[in-house]
Amino acid sequence: MPPFRVARCREESNMAKSDTRPKVTLACVECQNRNYITTKNRNTQRERIELRKFCPRCNVHRAHRETK
Q: Which residues bind Zn ion (CB under 5 A)?
A: 28, 30-31, 33, 55, 57-58
Q: Where are the beta strands (DSSP E) in 1-56?
A: 23-28, 34-39, 50-55
Closer to Zn ion by CB, 33 or 45: give it: 33
Residue nearest to Zn ion according to CB distances in the complex: 28
- The answer to whether 63 and 54 are in contact (CB under 8 A) is no
Q: How far is the CB of 40 from Zn ion (least distance, A)?
A: 21
Q: Considering beta carbons, is residue 20 or 29 the nearer one to Zn ion? A: 29
Neighbours of 67 (CB within 10 A): 11
